[in-house]
Amino acid sequence: MARDNEFECLKYVIEAYSGKIKSDIVFSNVDNDVKLLKYLNEVKPNPYSSEFPDFLSDDAIVEHFSITSSKENRKGSNFKKEQNVNYIETEAKIKEWQESCKNMPFDRNTVRSTIIENTYTDLSYNNFIDSLDRNLSHHIESLKKYDVKDRKVIFLIELQDAPMVVYRDNTFYGFYELHKDKNALSILKPYLDLLDIVVFRASDRIEIIDIKKFKELYGHSYSEEDIRGGRFRSINLLSIIDLCI
């Protein structure tokens, strides 16, 4: 089932984990980083592209899936739908602005600019938990039907919209971390015997969680009311410079 977004996410995690790109590994409780990196580097796309898992090798399987903190139905998340609409509208606005500039006189050595901005704020923690529960259950069903043998099972979970935020006493405390969330860990708990590693990516923030150490993780906690949906904002800055002398 590997597609471009699965490739991109796996590549990003590998490069971040190996220090090739600047990213934020906010948490890792894995005993052997070298061995995990070896698993991630060695997996190849499933030759049967419509089947589980996305990537596999002799030693490991990796299944990627996306979750969202926006509302979601069978056709996908509202965030993705609006993002697609915004992309089309933005492309139209860019062309319109470029055409308008062709018919305008320029002053020498001046810059003409415009900003096209889109913001999506209908994101919530409850939507996130619902999406995690629903999508994880779906992929676990596929895992149960698969002959894992003695390979490591790695689930690569990607939040497709903005990272969530944590507030304490109505003051920004930091960005959300899944390994500190009892609600999220409770969703993972029934599958401790099926999973080995969960990698959670939210934008440039990555958590690498050894599920077998569940008891150690469960000592952390957030209060549900402390967690809020993030805000996704895209900005396109367009400029035309007249360099006539």
What one-character-per-residue DSSP string does 75-114 give?
A: TEEHHHHHHHHHHHHHHHHHHHHHHHHHTS---TTEEEEE
Say if 111 falls within a structural domain.
Answer: no
Nearest to residue 181, comparing CAs of 41, 87, 67?
Answer: 67
**Per-residue pLDDT of the chain in tens (245 residues, 90 and over written 9):** 457 789 999 999 999 998 888 778 999 999 989 999 999 999 999 999 889 999 999 999 999 999 999 987 776 666 666 666 667 777 877 788 777 777 777 666 677 777 877 776 789 999 999 999 999 999 999 999 999 999 999 999 999 998 999 998 888 989 999 999 999 999 999 999 999 999 999 989 999 999 988 888 876 677 656 899 887 777 777 776 666 55
| Rounded Cα–Cα distance for residues 48 and 52 (Å) | 8
Q: Across the strands, what pairs with 159? A: 67, 202
DSSP 147: -
Query: Is 212 among the domain residues?
Result: yes
Q: Which domain holds residue 171?
A: 4-72+122-233
* The two structure tokens encoding residue 40: 């991630």
**Residue 134 Cα to chain centre, angstroms:** 16
218 found inside a domain: yes
Q: For the chain, what is the domain count?
A: 1
